[in-house]
A and B are shown apart, each in its own frame.
Chain A
């Protein structure tokens, strides 16, 4: 005789409450804003999907989205190969292992706004070490506060400096887990260094690399603090990424409806691309 009851559900309640207050309720508030219009005084009017249509059609949103994709694409295409190369050239054993690991972890331990400030001071023309060196010693006309290209390069280099370590550490973890026998067998089989990379190291790094790419995609796609502190989205709108634009609309102009609609679109894109990445990178395993 088996007795059944539904009491087990009570165990889920605390988690449900927690998730409700830190995710579901704020999220639903945003959904609520996104379909309404307000002129203040807490008076709301039904707007339907109007804001979504307006945002998707606006040049401003499309430009920011384009910049966002360009930024994420650039940092992925630099950080992933660079991270793999650095991880491959790190020592596997001996005195230098902890030294390298600590050096690698350092940039990630610095708070994001501090990173932005550091790079701001570092790259300011005349005052900053790099700005001074480039302009007055090498004679290169560099000013990230005035030139869009300089600003872009600076933002990308800053992100590479800050986050390549993450890719390195994850890849390194994958590499050290490869038993020596694999390298020995490859030697006996007469494999070239490229074959060793292609058939041993890369496959063994695949899982961690998938995680690294996903994390770097999501983080860079939602990046706000560092470029905001460094360039404030300028010069002009040239480094105004999606999150910076979103904050401008929501808190600068206090356009709650359009900002809410934009948040939801932003969220949907991040989710969709992450899912695509994950599905594409893990589809081989399913076979």
Chain B
């Protein structure tokens, strides 16, 4: 069990990186509290797997340090870091039984037989695989195989952190949910720090206490699922999280007002800084319909079950609104109202409005 601290971490796969673009990880400074459940969320190629491999020791970073409880482990090999990793595709030792698979990491560390048996039984019970202990691991279904690879990580009682690299990729949809709740349950029982890498926002938001959103090798925002949803620090976060994502509308910012297509919109607070490209960011959930407001032309209405997604045009700009009732007809003219405390200006992608004092 340990707190994990990444300090000024940079990594490049090139031997002599020149510009900023040559780095797969640009500048990472994160501290993860002992026993927390974290998710690394980002699109493919954003550097999240690189970051994970650096933490587990499969990669040595070009620059910066990794500290486990203030102990520098930057150059230590994986087996000396006491971490466990679950990979995208289940890794099991085909010729061994389920029990032997679970005992393998302990055996390699010279743990005595009675302790091995106790730990294996404990973990098997936790994972609901007790009745499979004697069977060959090669014949298991993917979800059970993935459970076994998880178990091999949890069986050691000295693990600092368990890392998951998109572990549900090959699992059938109806079992994904089951395995995810198993994971959550395991986290509560073993209290190890867990880091979960995924590009699926549902997985990240349901698993983690805190989500680290990454884009192009940079951390864009760290926050609880609610924070990420309510107050995205970057248009990327707004767009990536939420379904549909945040509306990002080109605008001009004047004090605590934004002018969007000639219509004035009240913001959550005054705008900081100047210059750059300014956009108005508002989630579809906070776009309402009224008798007055910004005139818009409804182009499409999609029924997605719980609510309706209304696509509309304001001038030449498309935006989306989410509504549960009073659905406008496609082709009709409506008035949109933006919730002021959820309307923000982003300058060059980053948030530029101050939070209104409560």
Contacts and interface: CB of A to CB of B under 8 A. Distances in A.
A185 B149 contact: yes
B1 to A, nearest CB: 17
A181 B167 CA distance: 12
A57 B308 CA distance: 91
Contacts of A189: 79, 104-105, 108, 152
A199 B93 contact: yes
A199 B95 contact: yes
Contact of A187 (B58, B95, B136): B58
A222 B85 CA distance: 50
Interface string A172-191: 00000001011011011111
A185 B153 CA distance: 9
A200 interface: yes
Nearest to B86: A185
Nearest to A191: B108
A26 interface: no
A258 to B, nearest CB: 48
Interface in B123-148: 136
A191 B56 contact: no
A235 to B, nearest CB: 47
B78 interface: yes
A282 interface: no
A287 interface: yes
A203 interface: yes
Interface in A177-218: 179, 181-182, 184-185, 187-192, 195, 199-200, 203-204
Interface residues of B, number: 26
B94 interface: yes
B55 to A, nearest CB: 12
Interface string B88-114: 110101111000000011001100000
Contacts of A182: 91
B108 A179 contact: no
A188 B109 contact: no
Contact of A188 (B79, B89, B95): B79
B94 A203 contact: yes
Contacts of B95: 199, 203
A190 B88 contact: no
Nearest to B152: A189
Given A179-B89, A181-B88, A181-B91, A187 B77 contact: yes
Given A188-B78, A192-B108, A181 B93 contact: no
A76 to B, nearest CB: 22
A28 to B, nearest CB: 44
Contacts of A184: 53, 56, 58, 78, 85, 87
Contacts of B39: none
B78 A200 contact: no
A187 B77 CA distance: 8
A195 B108 CA distance: 9
A119 to B, nearest CB: 40
Interface string B109-121: 1000000000000
A200 B101 CA distance: 12
Interface centre among A181, A195, A203 (most CB of B within 10 A): A181
Nearest to B91: A185
Nearest to B104: A189
A185 B93 CA distance: 10
A197 to B, nearest CB: 12
A181 B104 contact: no
Contacts of B153: 188
Given A199-B95, A203-B93, 20 more contacts: A179-B91, A181-B88, A185-B85, A185-B87, A185-B91, A185-B149, A185-B152, A187-B57, A187-B58, A187-B77, A187-B78, A188-B56, A188-B78, A188-B84, A188-B85, A190-B105, A192-B108, A195-B108, A199-B96, A203-B95
Interface of B: 53, 56-58, 77-79, 83-85, 87-89, 91, 93-96, 104-105, 108-109, 136, 149, 152-153
17 contacts: A182-B91, A184-B53, A184-B56, A184-B87, A185-B85, A185-B91, A187-B79, A188-B56, A188-B83, A188-B153, A189-B79, A189-B104, A189-B152, A190-B105, A199-B93, A199-B104, A203-B95
